[in-house]
Amino acid sequence: MEEHIVIIGNGISGVTAARHIRKLSDKKITIVSSETEYFFSRTALMYVYMGHMKFEHTKPYENWFWDKNRIDLKKGFVNNIDTDAKKLHFTEGDSLKYDKLIIATGSKPNKFGWPGQDLDGVMGMYHKQDLENLEKHAPSKEICKRAVIVGGGLIGIELAEMLNSRSIPVTFLVREDSFWNGVLPSGESEMINRHIKNHHIDLRLGMNLKEIKSDKNGKVKSIIIQETGEEIACNVVGLTAGVSPNIDFIKDSNIETGRGVKVNRYLETNIPDVYAIGDCAEQHEGINGRRPIEAVWYTGRMMGETLAQTICGNRIQYNPGHWFNSAKFLDIEYQTYGWVFGERGRPEYEKHFHWKHEDDTKCITVAYHKDTNHFLGINTFGIRMRHESFDTWLTEERDVDYVMNHLSEANFDPEFYSHYEADILSAYNKQLQTA
Amino acid sequence: MSLAKPDATDISNKQKIALAIGIIGLFILTLALFNTNFPNQGLFLTLALGLISVGIVIYSRDAYLTKLEGIKNDGVWFKSISSRGVWGWIVGVILTAFYIVLYFFPKYLGLGTDGTENTGLIKLFDPLSKLLSGRPASQWFVYGTLYTVAILAFGYKFILKYRHNRYQQLRTGSVMFFQLGFAFLIPEFMYVMNNDLPYYDLKSIWPLNYYIFDEWSVKGFLSNGNIGLALILFGIISIFVITPILTYKYGKRWYCSWVCGCGGLAETAGDSFRQLSSKKMSAWKLERWLIHTVLVFSVVMTVAMIYTYLGYDKNDFWLTRSLFIALVIGFLSIVFAGVMLFKRKELGKDAKYGAIAFFIVISALLIMHFTGTTKNIFYIKAGTLRSAYGLYIGSIFSGVIGTGFYPILGNRSWCRFGCPMAAILGFQQRLFSKFRITTNGGQCISCGNCSNSCEMGIDVRHYAQKGENIVRSSCVGCGVCSAVCPRGVLKLENDSMKGRINPTEILLGNDVDLMDLVNKK
């Protein structure tokens, strides 16, 4: 009898682990999910609401894929885990035995105890159910006269773009004094502020939610802003103030948890044969300057790739390479390679070179070490760049001059696009002369 | 999930006016179709085509220029016309009916037979035809004119839609140029200069142009001295020399989405339907069987046809039947042996099918050679094959299904399932070309925008999420997958052949030792 691997969660982490375990072995694999029957790309939910795609298009694999690869799918909600008997108990009443368990349950939207946060019409934008909820409460600008989004991160701006696609007026409350400036340097963050406003989104910087008010049917009627006391009438409130690990059902088990499920570098929990990967896993210490919890698509996938090895007998540490990430802010694409810090948490040795195109939709920030001149990382907006180039340069510990002089090799824009490397280089050289 | 059509996808008042203008133009054409006798044909024709174009232009400007530059796909799966809704089916039925009448019942369009004057719709186009070439219009002239207007007007729309993307603009400008110049104007002018020459759209290459080697066509060229000889030589050089060189350097896109008329219409008027192509594995399997069957059919048909009008004796013409059949078999064998020798690995299990197809073609040709008479080939009447091909492939597949079914099957079903030219270019693109779509390290988020917008039904995401370059014979290089990617993952490139096909399991960004372990074993 082959070992039974049970994976809770059918997101990118769990599915990647399952696929790789299947490639490496003949173990019995079961993926459990209460959200959907089949794996879909969470990052694509927004495009369903915008009408670019249908929900079925967000599924990276056709339905026959799972049968063919002998990956069993079980729809059910895990109520608790009995690690002694190696058994999962479902709210539906049934149970499932495992030999090895992988917890890959992802995140849930943060709620900070705001009055009215559970009213009808208040939602996050994370699960498929959130999408259905939004479709119900904000199908059109006639039914949803205004929406308020609370929290200026990546999901917040995506939700703003979604509502904008149906001409629903949006008020966007951002706690920081500039969009996402906990992560982005100020030049970039300010450019995005302007881009948001160009899309006729009512961006309110430095504003917090005080409370959400209800009408007599328990539906959202309006919100009150903490700082000004202003009341804004709305039909939908999107709570997008970050996410945290989705692990409530584990709290009563023997598995050690902090904010997430505590794991070591091998992605093992304190209980033998129980592992955690993806958004819900929490490293005891962040790896190479990373955060202990990384709620990013790519890291979830990497943990899945890594853990499959361990499960199949080749025990290896989770050892991610150079940091990278990407996003899209309305019409402006963003990519980052290596480390570039915003004002907050920036090491004192990190210096920046910033260039912005006059059309206000393209800019880059290059971070380097002020003493050694080592290239530390780059943020690029509106210009696509090659992952492989920067990964290589970071590994080779190139200095910033080298990177600036070879920037055109990293260009990944479509053919016939205008190139800005010469502009960027001359701005860079000029800055050095004056510095 | 119940998805009511969101109101935001309703069109603006200005767009409604634009639609009305366009419909008045179409209405004039409809009146002509029902034999309305307009007093001044030229004026009404100008009015009809002008109103249609102006309607499309105003509509496009209001749809795109009122918004910031960027991807404009909001609501494509909500709008009835672009999501196989009622309007999609209505347009599909009208287009299909038009093609059936055009190909099989041109008299209903008003084509005058046996020297009688044109009536109806075709008569309306007489003034333009006489202006260009001095002769009355035919159903093909009407079709060609409408085709050209569609590519120009919807090409303008497409250029506005992608006004942030110079690749899209240039390639659309290119298909507009080739349609207007090469397919529409130059053949008319050639007729004025020498009215014995067969119609020849220089960019339409055999086997897409399946009638170029017909007896009447070849005789037409050869009886017209040097210019005719030059033209037919150009036709031969196009497929055997120009095509392989350009496809090696740029992939099949140089033709399919920069030059070709079928591609031109698909990319412009058909753009709203690109998301409708099926991405299922089963559709891909069907595609591979169908398109290669058509290719085999077209090769055998063409060879058989040429064979029938060649003589036995080299005193009449140096190219005799035996020599011709030997040349064809020799050429096919060289291609086959070369591929099996140098590209066996890349073909994988398709090599077996390739070998079977090769031997079927060769045996068919041999059987033909040893059983053929002056009247019959394959024991059937010479010319039957040719007319069967013309009917089923040339008319029904490429026209009626290929274009008529735009709103149902997507805008490239002919290019994908049927075009023998695309099959040849694709074969070369897969095995011997510098072109590929490069994926950007580990940046893919599997969102599926790329697959959704692929008109050729390629599941682009399948490759992108593995960090694997896309090297598919069917890719026409339209570049829309790259345009719509929200994370900058895809780039169309011509680069070296080495490392072009790069299957990976662990993507860039993870542990370098793990990548080495898994990817390089």
Determine contact: B130 vs chain A, CB below 8 A. Answer: no
pLDDT in tens, B317-332: 778 888 888 999 999 9
Q: Rounded to an integer, what distance in angstroms lies between the CA atom of residue A412 and that of residue A382?
A: 11
Residue B6 has pLDDT above 80, yes or no: no
Number of other CB atoms surrounding residue B120 within 10 Å: 20
Whole-number mean pLDDT of chain B?
A: 90
The residue written with tokens 């007026």 in the block is: A169
Question: How far A421 CA lies from chain B's nearest CA (Å)?
Answer: 18
B12/B305 Cα distance (integer angstroms)? 55
Q: A212-234 pLDDT, tens per residue?
A: 999 999 999 999 999 999 999 99
Q: SS in 3 state form for B42-74?
A: HHHHHHHHHHHHHHHHHHHHHHHCCCCCCCCCC
Structure tokens at B372: 């053929």
pLDDT of residue B381: 74
Examine the pLDDT at A434 and tell me if it is beyond 70.
Answer: no
- Flag whether pLDDT at A145 surpasses 90: yes
- Contact yes or no for A320 and B509 at CB 8 A: yes
Indicate the pTM of the whole model: 0.94
Complex ipTM > 0.90: yes
Q: Residue B1: what pLDDT?
A: 39
B448·A140 Cβ contact <8 A: no
B508 to A199: CB separation less than 8 angstroms, yes or no? no
**Where do runs of H (alpha helix) occur along A69-165?**
128-137, 154-165
pLDDT grade, residue B200 (50/70/90)? Answer: confident
Q: Residue B512's pLDDT is what?
A: 85
B486 to A132: CB separation less than 8 angstroms, yes or no: no
What mean pLDDT value characterizes chain A? 96
In chain A, the percentage of residues whose pLDDT exceeds 90 is 97
Statement: residue A70 has pLDDT above 90: yes
Kindly indicate the confidence band of residue B521, based on its pLDDT and cuts at 50, 70 and 90: low
What are B380's two structure tokens?
């059937």
pLDDT at B4 over 60: no
Contact check, Cβ <8 Å, A333/B8: no
Predicted pLDDT of residue B399 = 83
Name the B residues in 45-84 with CB < 8 Å from any A CB: 68-71, 73-79
Residues in chain A closer than 8 A to B162 (CB atoms): none
Question: Measured between alpha carbons, how far is B126 from B139 in angstroms, rounded to an integer?
Answer: 11
Decide which of B33 and A194 is more confident: A194
**Alpha carbon B424 to chain centroid distance?**
13
Task: Give the contacts of A268 (CB within 8 A, at least 6 positions apart).
Answer: A274, A275, A310
Buried b (16+ CB within 10 A) or exposed e, B79-100: bbbbbbeeebeebbeebbebbb
Kindly state the tokens that stand for B328: 């064809």
Please tell me the distance from the alpha carbon of residue B432 to that of residue B429, in angstroms, as a whole number: 6
pLDDT band at B2 (very low <50, low <70, confident <90, very high): very low
Which residues have CB under 8 Å from B380's CB, separation 6+? none
Question: What's the average model confidence in pLDDT over A120-144?
Answer: 96
Asked if pLDDT for residue B62 goes beyond 90, the answer is: yes
Q: Which candidate from B7, B170, B482 shows the least CB-CB separation from A142?
A: B7
- Average pLDDT, integer, range A304-322: 96
Percentage of chain B beyond pLDDT 70 is 96
Q: What residue of B is the nearest CA neighbor of A55? A: B1
- Read off the pLDDT band of B502 (50, 70, 90): confident
pLDDT at B9: 59
Summarised one tens digit per residue, pLDDT across range B446-480 is 999 999 999 999 999 999 999 999 999 999 999 99
Does residue B3 register a pLDDT over 60? no
Q: What is the token pair recorded at A68?
A: 């063919």
CB atoms within 10 A of CB B114: 4
